[in-house]
Structure 1
Amino acid sequence: MSIISIGVSGLTAAQIALSTSSSNTTNAYTTGYTLQVANFSEATAGSGVQIASVDRQYNQFVTSQLNSSVSAESALSTYQTEVDQIDSLLADGDASLDTLMQSFFSSLQTLASDASDTAAREEVIGAAQTLTSQFTQLGSYLDDMADDVNSQIDDQVTQVNDLTEQIADLNKKISLTSALGTTSNTLLDQRDLLVSQLSELVDVDVSTQDNGSYTVSLSNGLALVSGNNSFDLQTGVSASDPTQSVVTYVDAAGHTTVLDDSVFEGGSLGGLMDFRDNSLTDAQNQLGILAVSLTQAFNSLQTAGVDLNGDTGSALFSVAAPSTYGDTGNTGDATLSATFTDDVSALSATDYTVKYSDSDGYTVTRNDTGASVTATYDSDNNTLTFAGMSVAISGTANSGDSFLVLPTRNAASSFTTLTTDGSLIAAGTSTGASDNSNALAMLNLQTSSIVGGSKTLSQTYSALVSDVGSTASKIAGQLQTQSSLTEQLTTLQQSESGVNLDEEAANLIVYQQYYQACAKVVEVGTSLLDTILDIN
């Protein structure tokens, strides 16, 4: 190879190196861009130089660790955003339920002082209406949050499908360039950026195939992307609980599989499901059991007393009966309807699953702990009694059928006062207008363990506020730790794959000098050739 050819090979290599360094410099702030390095090697012809490849400074292990950390951080951030709303809602001191319950019992104390005082009776009615209104407002807010969470799950599943479709399309392009013996760093960067964005939504595992394609899978191994194909997620109504959305997986044959919420451990989608299944449901049930317990205990005293008109008292409060749902996969035609019994102490702030089998008949389990619940079946009336409820069964259940019973989840939003007439408060147990014996019993409900037979109303509400606050603090602490880890991994990843402008500025000078030196080689070669030609 002539000296001119050697110099030209250097000029070509210098141009590629300068172009690579220039690209690094101009993309220093481009999201997802990976540092590129031009690799020099001796020319295959024997003399001169060539650029063997322009490679990305990419570390798959560090990137995978970073994506996992981003996924965990996103889940915690989403959970915190949601639980902070409940924490702020319950912690409003001026209008908290505890303050309003104290005001209600304070009005009963005034009534007990003079049961014939119509103004005191009206004060009780007013305090009751204010209390139930606050219950309704809080319950409705939580119900709206549940609807909003379902809506967010729908939106995020749509985003997941959009990203996986783009990743599959890039897989196709990358495998094609690989088959042609070339590599597109731009396509690789675009795909890694999409995977990073996907990790913010859901925790995924990524593996690289021989042709350079990515296989992107959920934690249970189901592939969202495999080669050129992407597989959709869908949302639908839960077969057991129509108030909740579930996510299903659609395989290549179009068959759908319902995914358990535990599949989504990370990402904002996982954070939403974790919040919904734990903090939100628990808050709804805890508020609900307060409403039900107060309703049952107070109404029991009302109907045992006498009002100002000398009549037997009637219910002051009303709350919706437990909700019951049959699983859509049931093969029998049985339906359940539930009512609360007078045994207030048996109520618990949880949901229940009722199952029927030919061998065991009807069995009941708590959904929060999975523990079995003692249930009594009356074959004569076809009723099942458990946990402070009487469940009437119509139709015939087949073995394997199951039913969901929600005693308290929707109770708070349905809590209401039935009358505006203070004379209907059954303050006494005789026809005497000044009889306050029943009013004193009503007042004692404030300090009685009427919630689950173990806690007062105030203790239950305080425990709810404390639990939500504790969860919010715990999540905030975990988020801070996870954010620090993400920051460390980002720093590590950028130290390898990020653009350092100082280094690139130095590289530009080096490659410029290298180009000038190679140009000098060509100049010398040209001069020698001219000299040889001039000899003649």
Structure 2
Amino acid sequence: MSILNNALSGALASQLALSSSSQNIANLQTKGYTRQAALLSAVAPAAGSNQAGNGVRVTSLLRFSDNYKTQQLWRAASDLGAYSQTQPYLTQLETVMGNDDASLSGGIDKFFAALNAVAGVDPTSTPLRQQVVTAAGLLAQRFNSLNNVYNSQLQSVRQQRTAIVDSANTAIAAIATLNGRIANANATGSNASSLIDQRDQAIDSLASQMGLEVSDQPDGTRNVSLKTGQALVLGSVAGKLAVTGSADQAFSLSFAGTTFDLDVTRAGGQLGGLSAYEKDVLLPMQNNVAEMARQIAEKVNNQLAAGKTMDNNPGKPLFVYTPGSTSNMLQVASGFQTADLAFSGDGTPGDTANLQKLADIKNQTLTLTGLGSVLLSDADTQLVGKLAVDSQQNKGALDTFQTMREQAEADWQSTSGVNQDEEAVNLVEYQNMYQANMKVMSVANALFDATLAMMS
């Protein structure tokens, strides 16, 4: 009977091994699936030195997983997320600010070219004076259009961060739920591989949104926290992220009845990348452009006030600067006429003393945060240059982390992914094992029949 029992255990073991291979092949294209294999071990004889053994058994179903490679995958997802979300914004600003038809430097050049044209021909010419007023309006329009781009990006960044928080909360809740189911499955001896795959996919998705620290627990659960230390998931207990405000967003994390304020610029991933872009690039750029508009308006208006019109009246302000305006930051003063241009220094028609000083404003300096004192004519060029440097640095980091993510995926796939050729070989081997054990069972049955025949 030991021959029959051995063969039966071998047949059952090969069936289970075939089942694991068929499961692997069925999930050949399933994203995040971790391959499995039956671990076989010989069953020792019960007693006596003359017994070969009691067959084979499946000790466990192995899950081919390398924790180091999985952690690398998540870290790469976080780094990639931080730079992938900001590049479209940087590219848009580069395109807008570098376009000759929309750039500030082009508008500034045309405004001062109109002033020089008046000085070089006839300061009393109404058409030439009108060109100055028109150029001033077009310059103001360029400032306003660029400011609208900044405001649009700010709104988009803030909406995107709110969406990321909502998506992250869904992933956090899923991880906690799966942790509980995995712990229960392990406690009852059930196969939790598919649950672990689902949980790891949820962690991978969350890792792209923010930097994570993940630690394994003895019961098979995984604790997840932000890289700044705040817990997101402990066992089956989930935290919840929140964002309040629309213009000035504030972020917090609630966990086990306690709420913590979060500095999302340090959060990593998509959330941290967008926040760092807003803080370090977008807002400073918008503030610098607003400062350019304010200082140009002040310089031009002050110089016009120092001159005289053709009617020997003091000059009126040409520009109106409105701080904080979303669409009309800089405008030509309402009702401003060509006769209000105070080009004369002494009120004499045809005198260009004040006009020369107006034209010379282009060679004066502006003070901008991060750039210091710069020539008005060079201010926009330097802003665009700084933006180009930021964009190139982001592109370089994006390419680097894209390569690292691809390498991490390849490393993970080499250990945990399904190899079709390998599974095909396993199918043949386990099929042969099953057929060989069935042959042994046939031999055992023949021996048993022969023994019965002898006793009859």
Q: Deviations over 1:226-252 (max 9, x none)?
A: 111110000013xxxx73212111121
Pick aligned residue for 2:428 from 509, 512, 517: 509
| TM superposition outliers: structure 1 runs of 4+ over 4 Å | 410-413
Larger radius of gyration: 2
Q: Does 1:462 align with 2:381?
A: yes
Q: Can you give the 5+ residue segments of structure 1 that lack an aligned partner in the other structure?
A: 324-409
Q: Deviations over 1:207-238 (max 9, x none)?
A: 1112111110011211111111110000013x
Query: Quick one: structure 1 residues 413 and 205, their matched pair in 2 at CA, closer, same or farther if it must change by over 3 Å?
Result: farther
Please list, as runs of the form range in 1=range in 2, the aligned pairs for 1:147-186 lying within 5 A after superposition. Answer: 147-186=155-194
Q: Deviations over 1:304-330 (max 9, x none)?
A: 122233321121111124x6xxxxxxx
Contact 1:201 1:267 (8 Å CA) reproduced: yes
1:123 Cα shift? 0.3
Residue in structure 2 matched with residue 329 of structure 1 by the alignment: none
Pick aligned residue for 2:352 from 436, 440, 456: 436
Moved more, 209-218 or 153-162: 209-218
Q: Can you give the 5+ residue segments of structure 2 that lack an aligned partner in the other structure?
A: 47-52
What is the CA–CA distance in structure 1 between the aligned matches of 2:83 and 2:350, rounded to whole Å? Answer: 58
SS in 1 for 2:347: coil
Q: Does 1:480 align with 2:399?
A: yes
Query: Quick one: structure 1 residues 500 and 510, their matched pair in 2 at CA, closer, same or farther if it must change by over 3 Å?
Result: same
Q: Does 1:246 align with 2:161?
A: no
Contact 1:291 1:411 (8 Å CA) reproduced: no
Residue in structure 2 matched with residue 24 of structure 1 by the alignment: 24
Q: Does 1:125 align with 2:44?
A: no
Contact 1:288 1:412 (8 Å CA) reproduced: no
Pick aligned residue for 1:258 from 258, 261, 281: 261
1:413 Cα shift? 5.3
1:520 Cα shift? 0.8
Residue in structure 1 matched with residue 50 of structure 2 by the alignment: none
1:171 Cα shift? 0.6
Contact 2:179 2:222 (8 Å CA) reproduced: yes
Residue in structure 2 matched with residue 392 of structure 1 by the alignment: none
Residue in structure 2 matched with residue 97 of structure 1 by the alignment: 104
What is the CA–CA distance in structure 2 between the aligned matches of 1:492 and 1:450, rounded to whole Å? Answer: 53
SS in 1 for 2:365: coil
SS in 1 for 2:366: coil
| C-alpha RMSD of matched pairs (Å) | 1.7
What is the CA–CA distance in structure 1 between the aligned matches of 2:175 and 2:255, rounded to whole Å? Answer: 17
Identity between Structure 1 and Structure 2 (%): 31
1:300 Cα shift? 0.6
1:451 Cα shift? 3.6
Contact 1:35 1:56 (8 Å CA) reproduced: yes
Pick aligned residue for 1:107 from 94, 114, 119: 114
Please list, as runs of the form range in 1=range in 2, the aligned pairs for 1:6-45 lying within 5 A after superposition. Answer: 6-43=6-43
Residue in structure 1 matched with residue 306 of structure 2 by the alignment: 304
Residue in structure 1 matched with residue 94 of structure 2 by the alignment: 87
Please list, as runs of the form range in 1=range in 2, the aligned pairs for 1:246-325 lying within 5 A after superposition. Answer: 246-253=250-257, 255-264=258-267, 266-321=268-323
Pick aligned residue for 1:55 from 62, 82, 85: 62
1:450 Cα shift? 3.4
Moved more, 271-280 or 44-53: 44-53
Contact 1:291 1:412 (8 Å CA) reproduced: no
Matched letter for residue 262 of structure 2: L
What is the CA–CA distance in structure 1 between the aligned matches of 2:453 and 2:233, rounded to whole Å? Answer: 68
What is the CA–CA distance in structure 2 between the aligned matches of 1:8 and 1:308, rounded to whole Å? Answer: 114
Q: Does 1:418 align with 2:333?
A: yes
Pick aligned residue for 1:490 from 390, 409, 416: 409
Report the TM-score when normalising by structure 1.
0.80
Q: Deviations over 1:424-478 (max 9, x none)?
A: 1111122222121111111001111134582112211111100111111111111
1:480 Cα shift? 1.1
| Structure richer in helix, relative to its length | 2
Contact 2:251 2:262 (8 Å CA) reproduced: yes
Contact 1:160 1:198 (8 Å CA) reproduced: yes
SS in 1 for 2:256: coil
1:411 Cα shift? 8.4
1:147 Cα shift? 1.2
Contact 1:319 1:411 (8 Å CA) reproduced: no
Matched letter for residue 254 of structure 2: V
1:154 Cα shift? 0.5
- Give the paired residue count: 443
What is the CA–CA distance in structure 2 between the aligned matches of 1:218 and 1:170, rounded to whole Å? Answer: 19
What is the CA–CA distance in structure 2 between the aligned matches of 1:125 and 1:153, rounded to whole Å? Answer: 42
